[in-house]
Amino acid sequence: MTECEVTAVIPVYNDRSALERAIPESLRRLEEITGSFELLVAEDGSDDGSAELVAEWEGRDPRVHLLHSDERLGRGRALTRAFHASKGRIFCYYDVDLATDMAHLGELIDAIRSGCAVATGSRLMPESRVDRDSRREIASRGYNALVRMILGSRLYDHQCGFKAFSRACLEALLPSVQSPHWFWDTELLVLAQHRGFRVCEFPVRWHQGEGTTVTLSDVTGMGSEILRLRWRLHAEKD
C-alpha cells in the first residue's frame, strides 16, 4: 500500500447535493496544505445518487475514492471502515455540509504535524464563532456538560464534525471503540484522554447546515452510552 501524508474523509448519507460542493472544495483546500493526500467519501447506504456522483469524480481524479456500503453502517462504523481503507499518516474527517469553515483545515492538519495525537475543532470555546439556532445550542451545551461531568473530559465540544488523528493513535484506540454511530466521536476523544494521548482543541467558525440526520432516538441513545462508557472506564481502573 502506497502511503500518503493525509487522508481526508467525508461521511455521507443521502447527501448528493452537498457533495457537489464538498468534493471540489476539499480538493482545493487539501492541495493548499499538502501534495500527498487522498479524499475518501464514506458513503453509507445512500439511495439518492451520492455513490454515482463520487464514482464520477473517482473516474477523473485518482485522489478521490468511493467507499460504498449497500447497507447503513452508522457514522462510527463507516468512519472505522474508512480508516482501515486509508493510506494517510494523518487521518481527518469533516461533515459533508462543510459547516466548519474549511479555512481551518490547515490548522487541523498542522496540529497533528506539531505533535498532537488528536485535534478537534470546537464550537463551544469562548473564541468560537457559531451561527445556529438556540435549541441546538442549548442541546449541545447540555450534552457536552454531561460528558465533562460524568466522563471527566477536559474538552468543550465532543461532537464537532471536524477532527484529525495520528495513525498510531487510531490504531491504538479503535479496537476499544464500541459505538457504531453518533457517540463514536465522543468515545474516541474520551478514551484518548484517559489513555494519555495529547488531545488539542481549537475554536472554529461554524455555520449550521440546512438539516441534520441526528434524531431524538440518537440523542437518547448517546445519553445511555455516556453511562455505559462511565462503567467501562471505572472497570478499567479496577
Give DSSP secondary structure letters for 80-107.
HHHHHH--EEEEEEE-TT--B-GGGHHH
Q: Where are the alpha helices (DSSP H) in 126-200?
A: 134-151, 167-173, 184-194
Cell numbers at 176, concatenated: 476499544
Nearest in space to 120 (alpha carbons), one of 52, 70, 188: 188
Q: Measure the CA–CA gap between 44 and 13, rounded to whole angstroms.
A: 5
pLDDT digits (tens, 9 = 90+) for 117-140: 999 999 999 999 999 988 889 988
φ, ψ (nearest 5 deg) of residue 74: 95, 150
φ, ψ (nearest 5 deg) of residue 115: 120, -5
Cell numbers at 121, concatenated: 475543532
Secondary element (H or E) of residue 122: strand 118-122
Query: Counting Cβ atoms within 10 Å, is residue 183 exposed (0-12), middle (13-18) or buried (19+)?
Result: buried
- Residues of the chain below pLDDT 70: 1, 210-221, 238
What separation in angstroms does the CA of 31 have from each of 7, 34, 130, 224?
12, 6, 27, 41
Q: What is the pTM of this model?
A: 0.93
pLDDT of residue 218: 55
| Contact by Cβ (8 Å): 83, 155 | no
Q: Annotated catalytic, 185?
A: yes
Catalytic residue among 15, 97, 157, 185: 185
pLDDT of residue 1: 63
What DSSP designation does 225 have? H
